[in-house]
């Protein structure tokens, strides 16, 4: 309970009359009148407020993309009185970034009052969004009384995919290379089902007559790329990477890359690894492959041990005899020792390996930052050493035959997508 203006005035009046009673005995008991009125009014409000029900409905996207801002709606209704003042505090669960709001509302009987709040999830998983804290005004406006009648809302945070603009940009980059190899080679790699975009010259009429349906020839230069995404879910995934953690960033990059690969009719699979390989989805094509990959990535959680890319590479080498592109999303600074070098040795030259890691934008700014205290030069030296070590690890991986790149958190997905499309253009896999 928290007193309102009318209640505070009665308390003030009680105190003033009490002070006057000390000077004039005729007014000695007069303070009891406002005090009794306050107590009687509070007792009445307790009874009245119990009948005043405020219903709150929470409305949120059932599946919320990680790192993408969306709107959460709070719908307030009441049917007990003509006008009911309330105070409420809107907040979000800890894994969401949102600005809390304290509001005073006047709810009209039978009408909905909708309040919206923008929020952005920072972690994968299923979360319960609690109802807002509320308190209602008593009919005499003596006090605010706490109440709650909101059902919590469950929100599922899933990996994000490419937006329409991102897909359009990728299609423009691939436009020249996508048609260059159609029927451009005389070596037939295999026969496959006819697709509506196939030109007439690639149809194998004899095979079509034998099978009773259109069959197309797939030439050697048209063979689709096969790709496996190896995602490090070790303890380094709990470190921050911009507005989300590293694991969330890796998962978003993997989901977007899988989406792009399927759009280009490539095969894509996923491996999750920490101290050992955890889950493996074999490369597959089509929208169903993206659905399975996204569902697996949505279940990712940070594991207690450090990621071991060497064991993941050994599993990939043992289970995938055909050459493919292996995209490894891991920490190049901590993991780029013997284990990551051994992983590259195991995968190359059989597979084309792309190792992707993060740069720290805060450390990048320290060497050029102005000096404010005695520790700033040491911080700048440490940041410079960090960048030298990271660049040296990238050079070492490239010397072993792998492709390696680093990028800032907000640029990693674009850097990985560009590298993948560059490999397709060069037909390296």
- Whether 220 has a pLDDT exceeding 60, the answer reads no
- Residue 198: inside a domain: no
Domain finish residue from 140, 158, 176 = 158
- Residue 202: inside a domain: no
Q: Do 62 and 33 lie in a common domain?
A: no
- Residue 183: inside a domain: no
Q: Do 28 and 129 lie in a common domain?
A: no
- Residue 315: inside a domain: yes
- Whether 49 has a pLDDT exceeding 60, the answer reads yes
Query: What is the model's pLDDT at position 248?
Result: 93
Q: Do 84 and 15 lie in a common domain?
A: no
Alpha helices by DSSP H, listed for 24-117, are 32-49
Q: Do 284 and 406 lie in a common domain?
A: yes
- Whether 170 has a pLDDT exceeding 80, the answer reads no
Domain CATH for 391? 3.40.50.410
Gap between the Cα atoms of 317 and 329, Å rounded: 17
Top pLDDT among 53 and 330 is at 330
Q: Which of 356, 337, 354, 350 is closest to 403 using CA atoms?
A: 354
Question: What's the rounded mean pLDDT across residues 341-365?
Answer: 88
Q: Do 30 and 72 lie in a common domain?
A: no
Q: Of 204-208, 365-369, 386-390, which one has max mean pLDDT?
A: 204-208
Range of the domain at 361: 224-426
Query: What is the model's pLDDT at position 370?
Result: 80
Query: What is the model's pLDDT at position 185?
Result: 47
- Residue 150: inside a domain: yes
Q: Do 36 and 125 lie in a common domain?
A: no
Question: What's the rounded mean pLDDT across residues 308-336?
Answer: 88
Question: Under a CB-based contact definition with an 8 Å cutoff, are residues 354 and 328 in contact?
Answer: yes
State the DSSP string of 107-168: EETT--EEEEEEEEE-S-EEEEEPPPEEEEE-TTSSEEEEE--B--EEEEEE-----HHHHH
Total structural domains within the chain: 3
Query: What is the model's pLDDT at position 171?
Result: 47
Q: Do 255 and 295 lie in a common domain?
A: yes
Domain finish residue from 158, 185, 201 = 158
The overall pTM is greater than 0.85 = no
Question: What's the rounded mean pLDDT across residues 210-232?
Answer: 82
Question: What's the rounded mean pLDDT across residues 391-411?
Answer: 91
Q: What is the mean pLDDT of the chain?
A: 85
DSSP-derived pairing of the beta strands 63-65 and 153-158: parallel
- Residue 179: inside a domain: no
- Whether 183 has a pLDDT exceeding 50, the answer reads no
Query: What is the model's pLDDT at position 74?
Result: 92
Question: What's the rounded mean pLDDT across residues 349-362?
Answer: 89
Query: What is the model's pLDDT at position 181?
Result: 39
Q: Do 244 and 351 lie in a common domain?
A: yes
Question: What's the rounded mean pLDDT across residues 166-173?
Answer: 48
Domain CATH for 111? 2.60.40.10
Question: What's the rounded mean pLDDT across residues 191-208?
Answer: 83
Top pLDDT among 351 and 1 is at 351
Query: What is the model's pLDDT at position 219?
Result: 63
Q: Helix, strand, or coil here: 354?
A: strand
Tens of pLDDT, residues 243-294: 899 999 999 999 999 999 998 889 999 999 999 999 999 999 999 999 999 9
Q: Do 141 and 64 lie in a common domain?
A: yes
Q: Do 21 and 81 lie in a common domain?
A: no
- Residue 188: inside a domain: no
Percent of the chain whose pLDDT exceeds 90: 45
Q: Do 35 and 68 lie in a common domain?
A: no
Q: Do 98 and 138 lie in a common domain?
A: yes
Question: What's the rounded mean pLDDT across residues 133-156?
Answer: 87
- Whether 377 has a pLDDT exceeding 90, the answer reads no
Percent of the chain whose pLDDT exceeds 70: 90
- Residue 208: inside a domain: no
């Amino acid at each position: 309970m928290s007193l309102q203006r009318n209640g505070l005035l009665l308390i003030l009046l009680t105190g003033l009359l009490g002070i006057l009673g000390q000077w004039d005995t005729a007014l000695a008991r007069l303070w009891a009148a406002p005090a009794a009125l306050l107590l009687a009014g509070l007792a009445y409000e307790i009874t009245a407020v119990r009948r005043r029900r405020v219903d709150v409905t929470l409305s949120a996207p059932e599946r919320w993309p990680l790192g993408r801002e969306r709107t959460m709606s709070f719908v307030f209704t009441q049917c007990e009185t003509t006008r009911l003042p309330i105070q409420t505090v809107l907040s979000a669960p800890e894994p969401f970034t949102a600005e809390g709001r304290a509001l005073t509302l006047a709810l009209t009987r039978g009408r909905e009052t909708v309040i919206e709040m923008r929020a952005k999830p920072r972690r994968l998983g299923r979360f319960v969004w609690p109802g807002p804290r509320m308190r209602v005004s008593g009919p005499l406006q003596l006090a605010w009384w706490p109440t709650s009648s909101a059902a919590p809302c469950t929100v599922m945070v899933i990996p994000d995919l490419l937006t329409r603009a991102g897909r359009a940009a990728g299609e423009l980059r691939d436009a020249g290379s996508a048609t260059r190899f159609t029927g451009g080679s005389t070596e037939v790699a295999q026969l496959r089902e006819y697709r509506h975009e196939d030109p007439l010259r690639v149809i194998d009429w004899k095979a079509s007559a034998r099978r009773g349906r259109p069959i197309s020839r797939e030439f050697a230069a048209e063979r689709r790329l096969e790709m496996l995404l190896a995602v490090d879910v070790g303890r380094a995934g709990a470190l921050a990477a911009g507005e989300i953690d590293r694991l969330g960033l890796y998962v978003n990059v993997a989901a977007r890359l899988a989406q792009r690969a399927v759009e280009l009719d490539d095969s894509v699979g996923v491996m999750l690894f920490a101290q050992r390989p955890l889950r493996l989805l074999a490369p597959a094509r089509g929208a169903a492959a993206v659905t399975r990959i996204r569902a697996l990535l949505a279940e990712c959680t940070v594991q207690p041990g450090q990621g071991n890319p060497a064991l993941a590479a050994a599993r990939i080498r043992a289970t995938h005899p055909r050459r493919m592109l292996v995209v490894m999303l891991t920490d190049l600074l901590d993991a780029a020792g013997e284990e990551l070098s051994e992983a590259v040795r195991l995968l190359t030259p059989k597979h084309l390996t792309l190792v992707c890691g993060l740069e720290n934008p805060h450390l990048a700014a320290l060497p050029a930052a102005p000096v404010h205290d005695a520790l700033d030069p040491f911080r700048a030296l440490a940041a410079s050493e960090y960048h030298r070590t990271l660049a040296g690890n990238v050079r070492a991986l490239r010397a072993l035959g792998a492709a390696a790149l680093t990028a800032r958190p907000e640029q990693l997905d674009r850097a990985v997508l560009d590298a993948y499309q560059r490999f397709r253009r060069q037909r390296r896999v």
